[in-house]
Amino acid sequence: MKSMKYKKITESQVEISELMLPSRSNFNGKIHGGYILSLLDQIAFACASKHSQVYCVTASVDTVDFLAPIEIGELVTMKASVNYVGKSSMVIGIRVESENIQTGLVKHCNSSYFTMVAKDDNGKSVKVPGLILENDQDVRRFVKSIKRLKMKIKRKTEFHETDFSSEEYMHLLDDYNVKFDIH
């Protein structure tokens, strides 16, 4: 493994394209979201491993926003970049576009953020190279990753609260489609 303290984002970017076949469709004739998730995990692994130059594992899928359906016969292109690095973790941002190869129409179908962790041969986390931010977009993506990380920590803390009282939160449910039957 080459020892490199910092890398440019462009050094680790990965792009893949695949024609969507009928065998990948769901019962509605659209490409199955689970198949797209599998491709997202593969490209996140490739991008993170390329950046760290070691084996990486998926720690979490922070966000997956399905924006538009993908049709059979469209050419799907996924573009992955390292948006953020910690000590051993990396946030990989992935943009998915599909192209109708008959009309040339391109649509943004999905955006997602995978947190990947670099591991050595014994399964221990290893330090990853830092990032060289070269433009406003690089800075924006890095800062947005920090914000998502802070929100994730807050959600995890709230999820594990043990001093929960439903009465304290009832007012938050006023605008939702719920009926109370608490005894």
What domains, with CATH codes, occur in the chain? 6-161 (3.10.129.10)
What is the pLDDT at residue 41?
Answer: 97
- Going by DSSP bridges, is the β-strand pair 130-132/6-8 parallel, antiparallel, or unpaired? parallel
At 161, the amino acid letter reads E
What is the pLDDT at residue 108?
Answer: 98
**Rounded to two decimals, what is the model's pTM?**
0.86
What is the pLDDT at residue 4?
Answer: 57
The dihedrals phi and psi of 140, each to the nearest 5 degrees, come to -60, -45
Query: How many Å apart are CA 90 and CA 113, to the nearest integer?
Result: 10
Query: How many Å apart are CA 101 and CA 4, to the nearest integer?
Result: 40
Contacts of 180 (CB under 8 A, 6+ apart): 170
Mean per-residue pLDDT pooled into runs of 10, the chain (183 residues): 78 97 94 96 98 97 92 97 97 98 97 97 96 96 94 84 70 80 75
Determine the Cα angle at 22 with ends 16 and 26, to 5°. Answer: 95
CB 64 within 8 A of CB 122: no
What is the pLDDT at residue 138?
Answer: 96
Contacts of 69 (CB under 8 A, 6+ apart): 30, 31, 109
